[in-house]
């Protein structure tokens, strides 16, 4: 790894802030991230790293799922934005396979070797970087070189902003930099774009194979590639409309001038472990069961619901008939609700909402987002009283649009608000939530974020 800059240069917060601002972060966010990079550089210098040592400096954002709840792994579409919160990370190469990855804020260090037989714990954040290390050792010819990685994140954990997927992406980019994986023949035979990389890293997370890159144990969730696509591919100041399986860019929709995303993290942890993981994976299992019933009844080989819908003009009606058949694992209502949600969210709401934004029709956009929130409550069934309350109270307080996002069963709600009114809005939103759910208010967080760039390396 040549690295992008000497570690000592990262202590110059003004210079680093200018670089980050040039990449699309707002001035205030760029200033905050530059200060974080400076602290991380001081930590490495304090640990004995030479000031002239070149390091890889990365900013990897979280994401806001504007629309497209649980659509990606079913081949559907979504409207997403990269947040201006995320992981600041520095990576210094080592001489052997050992990786030492430190969360500077919590003072916790994950140590592991880049090897194919690595044993990975399931119940801590160590699961994510170690899963990446194990998979890369299996997919790329070694021996691979590790090193020292230090990071800090201002994403609320387990809150629906894809902190886990951002850690997957950040770990890959660091190990890639230390080994030049993206220069290898294996990489170029399988990954030809950022969208491809997003799909591969989603496969790392869910354990599936990607092209010739064989699958392995993932982190335990059965998600798709929406999060990784937003984190890697979104553009500053815009929402990206993508469809999936494979990942396809459809269009960029600018965020309306003068607006930002107010975010409320409910304090109800959307942890993808234990019983919560079972709830999260149920939506995926239902989508897979719907597609399997379609294949069995039609003799077609459509891999997912979206492909089935695209197969014929009357495919939706055919699917409804097919889903009247008995299933050993799910009720007819469960299967039909899962299908109707995907159909409405992916094929109707997302394209229409993008059109409304493109023509500046904020009223219509708000109504379409309201419909998406209602579909999540009535058909998808992944909402909790706290997220329902936050979405509705945001609209009552004047937000142009508001919706829960992420896996569900907790997590966060976004609200599109005028930046000039954001501080007052956030204060009122927080007060209403504290009065309605005092037991969760201490763990909640309310803040303004903007549509920033996808993952960037600091030049």
More confident residue, 247 or 2: 247
User: 89 with 57: CB under 8 angstroms?
Assistant: yes
The DSSP H or E segment spanning 438 is helix 438-441
Q: Model confidence at 459, in pLDDT bands (50, 70, 90)?
A: low
Query: What local confidence, expressed as pLDDT, does residue 159 receive?
Result: 86
Give the pLDDT confidence of 161-206 residue by residue, as tens digits.
999 999 999 999 999 999 999 999 999 999 999 999 999 999 999 9
Q: Model confidence at 399, in pLDDT bands (50, 70, 90)?
A: very high
User: 290 with 76: CB under 8 angstroms?
Assistant: no
Q: How many CB atoms lie within 10 A of CB 106?
A: 10
Query: What local confidence, expressed as pLDDT, does residue 204 receive?
Result: 98
User: 104 with 154: CB under 8 angstroms?
Assistant: no
Average pLDDT of the chain to the nearest whole number: 95
Query: What local confidence, expressed as pLDDT, does residue 271 receive?
Result: 54
State both tokens at 102: 């430190």
Query: What local confidence, expressed as pLDDT, does residue 1 receive?
Result: 34
Residue in 359, 69, 375, 366 with CA at minimum distance from that of residue 223:
69
State both tokens at 404: 């829960």
Q: What is the dihedral of CA 454, 139, 283, 453, to 10 degrees?
A: 0
DSSP code at position 162:
-
Mean pLDDT of 426-442: 97
Say what percent of the chain tops pLDDT 90.
91
Query: What local confidence, expressed as pLDDT, does residue 277 receive?
Result: 64
Strand partners, 110: 101
Mean pLDDT of 227-254: 98
SS3 string, 94-136, reads CCCCEEEEEECCCCEEEEEECCCCCCCCCCCCCHHHHHHHHHH
Give the pLDDT confidence of 89-125 residue by residue, as tens digits.
999 999 999 999 999 999 999 999 999 999 999 889 9
Q: Per 3-state DSSP, what percentage of the chain is helix, strand, and coil (rounded to 5)?
A: 45, 20, 30
Mean pLDDT of 307-327: 96
**Residue 294, pLDDT above cutoff 70:** yes
Query: What local confidence, expressed as pLDDT, does residue 2 receive?
Result: 43
**Residue 143, pLDDT above cutoff 60:** yes
Prediction pTM value = 0.96
Give the pLDDT confidence of 320-352 residue by residue, as tens digits.
999 998 888 999 999 999 999 999 999 999 999
Rg (CA), the chain: 22
DSSP output for 265-320 = E-SS----SHHHHHHHHHHHHHHHHHHHHHHHHH-----SHHHHHTT-TTHHHHHH
User: 231 with 166: CB under 8 angstroms?
Assistant: yes
User: 142 with 114: CB under 8 angstroms?
Assistant: yes
What are the angstrom distances between the C-alpha of 116 and each of 141, 204, 391? 11, 13, 44
State both tokens at 338: 């899962």
3-class DSSP state of 223: coil
- Hey, what CATH topology would domain 5-252+453-457 get? Ribosomal Protein S5; domain 2 (3.30.230)
Cis ω before 246 (30° cut-off from 0): yes
What are the angstrom distances between the C-alpha of 431 and each of 20, 183, 418, 421, 435? 34, 52, 19, 16, 6
């Amino acid at each position: 790894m040549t690295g992008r800059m000497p570690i000592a240069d990262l202590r110059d917060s003004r210079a680093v802030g200018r670089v980050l601002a040039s990449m699309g972060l707002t001035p205030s966010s760029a200033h905050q991230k530059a200060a974080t990079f400076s602290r991380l550089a001081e930590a490495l210098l304090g640990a004995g790293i030479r000031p002239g040592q070149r390091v890889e400096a990365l900013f990897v954002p979280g994401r806001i799922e504007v629309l497209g709840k649980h659509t990606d792994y079913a081949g559907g579409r979504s409207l997403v934005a990269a947040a201006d919160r995320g992981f600041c990370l520095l990576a210094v190469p080592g001489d052997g396979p050992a990786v030492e990855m430190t969360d500077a804020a919590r003072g916790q260090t994950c140590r592991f070797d880049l090897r194919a037989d690595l044993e990975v714990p399931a119940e801590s954040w160590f699961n994510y970087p170690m899963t990446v290390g194990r998979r890369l050792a299996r997919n790329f010819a070694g021996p691979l070189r590790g090193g020292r990685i230090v990071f800090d994140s201002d994403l609320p954990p387990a809150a629906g902003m894809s902190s886990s997927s951002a850690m997957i992406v950040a770990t890959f980019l660091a190990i890639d930099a230390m080994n030049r994986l993206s220069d290898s023949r294996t990489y170029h035979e399988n990954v030809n774009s950022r969208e491809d990389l997003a799909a591969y890293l989603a496969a790392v997370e869910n354990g599936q194979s990607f092209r010739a890159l064989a699958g392995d144990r993932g982190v335990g969730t059965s998600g798709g590639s929406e999060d990784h696509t937003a984190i890697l591919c979104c553009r500053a100041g815009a929402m990206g409309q993508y469809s999936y399986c494979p990942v396809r860019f459809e269009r960029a929709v600018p965020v309306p001038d003068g607006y930002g995303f107010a975010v409320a993290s409910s304090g109800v942890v959307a942890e993808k472990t234990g019983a919560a993981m079972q709830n999260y994976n149920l939506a995926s299992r239902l989508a897979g069961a719907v597609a399997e019933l379609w294949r069995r009844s039609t003799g077609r080989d459509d891999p997912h619901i979206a492909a089935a819908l695209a197969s014929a003009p009357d495919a939706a009606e055919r699917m409804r008939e097919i889903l009247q058949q008995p299933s050993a694992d799910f009720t007819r209502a469960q299967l039909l609700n899962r299908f109707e949600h995907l159909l409405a969210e992916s094929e109707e709401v997302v394209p229409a909402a993008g059109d409304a934004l493109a023509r500046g029709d904020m009223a219509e956009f708000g109504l379409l987002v309201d419909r998406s929130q209602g579909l999540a409550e009535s058909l998808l069934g992944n909402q909790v009283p706290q997220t329902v309350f936050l979405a509705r109270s945001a609209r009552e307080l004047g937000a142009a649009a508001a919706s829960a996002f992420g896996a569900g069963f907790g997590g966060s709600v976004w609200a599109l608000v005028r930046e000039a009114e954001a501080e007052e809005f956030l204060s009122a939103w927080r007060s209403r939530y504290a009065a309605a759910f005092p037991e969760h208010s201490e763990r909640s967080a309310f803040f303004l974020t903007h549509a920033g760039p996808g993952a960037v390396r600091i030049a």
